[in-house]
Every structure is written in C-alpha cells, then in structure tokens.
Structure 1
C-alpha cells in the first residue's frame, strides 16, 4: 500500500482503507485528518512533583546552593505538593544539579516524609561527590509519589 506517513494516509481513499483495514481504516484516516472525538481526560495520576531554577550565573560555593534550596526551592516544592494533594505519600526525594558543561546528575534517597535537612544532605553529597570543581547552573528538587495501588498493598496484613 505504501502508507508510511500521515500524509500518505491523508491522500489515500477512505473506501480503500475500509476495505483493507475495516473499522480501523476509518480510525486511521480520521486521526491522520486531525479528527479525534475521544473524550479528553485532563485528570491524570501525578507521579512526581518538582521545582528547579536555572541560574543567571553559575555558582561555585555550596553556601549559594544551600541558600537557594532553603530560601526558594524547598518552600516552592512544599507549596506545589500541598496544591497537588496534601495526602499524597512520598516514595523518594531527590536533587538535580546541572553543571556549566551541561552535564547533569540526580541523587535520590528513599524517605517518606518531606524534610529540608534530608534534601540538604542529599544535595550536599551530590555537590561534594559529583561537581568536580564545575560551576552549577541549575538546581532542582523533586519528590516521586507513591503509587496508590502500592500504597494500598503495603497496608495489607498477613
């Protein structure tokens, strides 16, 4: 048939697609025409929440990174987490650093309670072990949320 791209399907006869593919032929043709009558479902299960800042100038001192986390990133992460749903449970917490050479590293730890001291320890460890003297141009914090299915299973007793 020679159908490789949507443009190929758009230019193909609908009747021939129906003969060849049945009901799926119509679906294929409609989607390639930009027609999709399926209901849009904006509700989705959020898997993570995060905040990050790209800096105007690279930072080279841990104290600058720590101040950014304490004064800006952590409060914003708390606020976003409350907005999403205050009763969501955390599976992991982590820190992201992007360096002046655009390489990045992420360090996480498993801990169910959001705590600034824990995140600062994770950030400090990543800073000390992975920075290798490079300037840091982006700092981020994130939490991975516990899957509600797993959460339900965890409370089962045997």
Structure 2
C-alpha cells in the first residue's frame, strides 16, 4: 500500500439498516417493535427478502425459506414487498449522496460506495460527510444507515458492518493491516462459508493466520482466488468507485472443502446457492432471462450450461429446479458420473429491472419471487 494516491483516497460505504423491513415499519406504525418478515408467506411458500432486527433475534435472515422463518417465530408478521416504495426511497437516499459527490456507485437499493476525496461542499473530512449523510437520512427519511470509512472499497465495506445498526466506523491507513489481522476469517467479504470452513481445517482462523501464507501458497490452495486473499488480508484494493455501474450478470458459487461425488450432495449445495442468488436478485430488483450452471471438476475441467426463458424469472423454485435440471443433463450428456465436483455456481443474466415490471395486469403474470 505504498501508492500515496491510493492511500489518500476517502471512500465511504453506506449501508441502510434492514432496509425493506425498516421502510415497512416506518410506513406502518403497527409493525414497529415487532418481528417483521418481508417476502414469503407463513404457509411456507417463497423465501425471506428482509427481516427486521426484531425478527433477526430469532435467527431469521434473508434468503431463508419462509417455512423455516415461520417455525422459528410463528408470531412474526409476513408482508409482501413493495419494490416501488423501496425504489422511491432509494432514489431519495441517492439524492442525499449527490449533495456531496457525483462519484456514487450503487450496489443495490440499500447500499453504495462514495468517493469523497474531492467533495462538492469542500468539507474535507470523510467522517464529517458520513455523519452528515446519516443525519440527513434519519431526519428527512426517518430511516437509519450505517457507514464505513477508509481508503478503499473493501475496507470501507467491512467497516460499515462493525457498528450496525445506526453506527459508523473509520479504519485509517495506518491501522488497516492490524485490523485485518484480528478479523475472523468468516468476516472477510469474498470468503464464503465453504471457503471459511476449508481455511479453518487448515488452521486459518484469523487474518493473521491467512497472512502467514505466501501468495504462491494461497494460489496453490485456492487457485486464482489466492491472489485476492493475499491482497485483502493486507487491505489492498485498487478498485475505483464507478458511477452508473450496470449489472451484466449476478452469480453465487462455492468451492467445496471436499469434492462432491453424488447428485444428492450436489442438489443440496445447489439449494443453498440458489437461495443466495435469489436474495441478491431481490436486493438489486432484477429478473433475468438466462440461468447458467457452472461446474468445476476435481481435475479443474470447467463446463457451463444455460437455459433461457421468454419471460424474465427471479423466483427461487425456478432458479433451483433449472440448475438441478442442467446438472442432471450435464452428467447424463457428458457421462461424468464418476467425476468429483469441486465447485458449483449459478448465475442469471439478460436482466430487466424488477421494479419496472410491477404492473402485473400489463405483464399478465404475478410476481413469483415471494
């Protein structure tokens, strides 16, 4: 991290607190202080899009099957999502961001990166700007946001989680590496549950443990991801804040600690991966026309198979069943029954904005996501 220009950047990551649920509780006083689930139905159909903090106390979280959410908290209130309302609030939040900088990179309706190295109001302090933004959101929109401030996107995003909800955390350049060394490995963005479990089986529990491995050692164990791990544990992230970023595809994948050998094992993993994809689609308000399955075998041979739809899809059942169908056809067609699978992934592409499809009468279909 010797580049002075990179060290002098001022990056803020703003993350709204339980956004969908908080909007519902703001607009409906009767929901306040109660466990609230947005999306899904208590009879078991669909998945959770968002949960209030009261619901999270029962272990309810996004992408969880609504049947499980109901079992954990039968008294929870289930409501249908109102994407038009969330999008309207999100636009007002972005208007607040643009008072300070035009370098705003939205990640979804409820979070964004801001580069305030040169801010419009000549405030000069990223901490003051973050606090002013949080205050404006609270006063004008009656919602709370958390903020992370640092010199790059990766560290700022981690920082925004530290004091949630309604909190703020600054991690300066001189303290980044020490902070990363103490961070539990599962707290690193980009290290999923499966990879974290694999690392723990290797004796890697914290950033300090990860930092003990050389880049060559990490690459040997984790492939191309090894270089990424080598950089993030040192707080290195040279990506710029990119306004008007357009999502071309959305994916979730996992490399497994142990190679999978049966379709039953793989179907179980696809269930979990499909839920992650479904959750990410909901956060970005997207539907896709093409579902792609990615399979990597133990010998690192990689294949992809896809299926396209005339009508955009985003519901869990379609994503899950299509991925499983593609997997079954792949094994039958390629005669890979004796192959060991080390990675599975699901992605969607050919997007449309879900909030532009909410006129159900015109579209002739009912939203199936929740």
Conserved 8 A contact 1:54-1:139: yes
* RCO higher in structure (CA 8 A, sep ≥6): 1
Ranges in structure 2 where 5+ consecutive residues have no aligned partner: 1-117, 119-239, 357-370
User: Is the partner of 2:296 in helix, strand or coil?
Assistant: strand
Q: CA deviation at 1:40?
A: 5.3
Give the alignment partner of residue 275 of structure 2, picking from 75, 79, 85: 75
Distance 1:125 1:42, change over 3 A: same
Deviations 1:98-146 (A, max 9, x none): 0011010000010222412222211221233232521000000000133
Show the counterpart of 1:13: none
Q: CA deviation at 1:94?
A: 1.1
Q: CA deviation at 1:62?
A: 0.3
Q: Does 1:124 align with 2:325?
A: no
- The two structures have a TM-score, normalised by structure 2, of 0.28
User: Is the partner of 1:45 in helix, strand or coil?
Assistant: coil
- Tell me how far apart the structure 2 counterparts of residues 132 and 120 of structure 1 sit (CA, whole Å): 15
- Tell me how far apart the structure 2 counterparts of residues 57 and 41 of structure 1 sit (CA, whole Å): 37
Q: Does 1:64 align with 2:262?
A: no
Show the counterpart of 1:16: none
Count of paired positions: 110
For the pair shown, the structure with the greater C-alpha radius of gyration is 1
- The two structures have a TM-score, normalised by structure 1, of 0.62
Conserved 8 A contact 2:274-2:346: yes
Deviations 1:28-52 (A, max 9, x none): xxxxxxxxx9x95333110100000
Show the counterpart of 2:349: 144
Show the counterpart of 1:154: none
Conserved 8 A contact 1:47-1:147: no
Conserved 8 A contact 1:98-1:138: yes
4+ residue segments displaced more than 4 Å: none
Ranges in structure 1 where 5+ consecutive residues have no aligned partner: 1-36, 152-158
User: Is the partner of 1:146 in helix, strand or coil?
Assistant: strand
Between stretches 97-106 and 111-120, larger displacement belongs to 111-120
Superposition RMSD in Å = 2.5
- Tell me how far apart the structure 2 counterparts of residues 143 and 63 of structure 1 sit (CA, whole Å): 23
- Tell me how far apart the structure 1 counterparts of residues 287 and 261 of structure 2 sit (CA, whole Å): 34
User: Is the partner of 2:304 in helix, strand or coil?
Assistant: strand
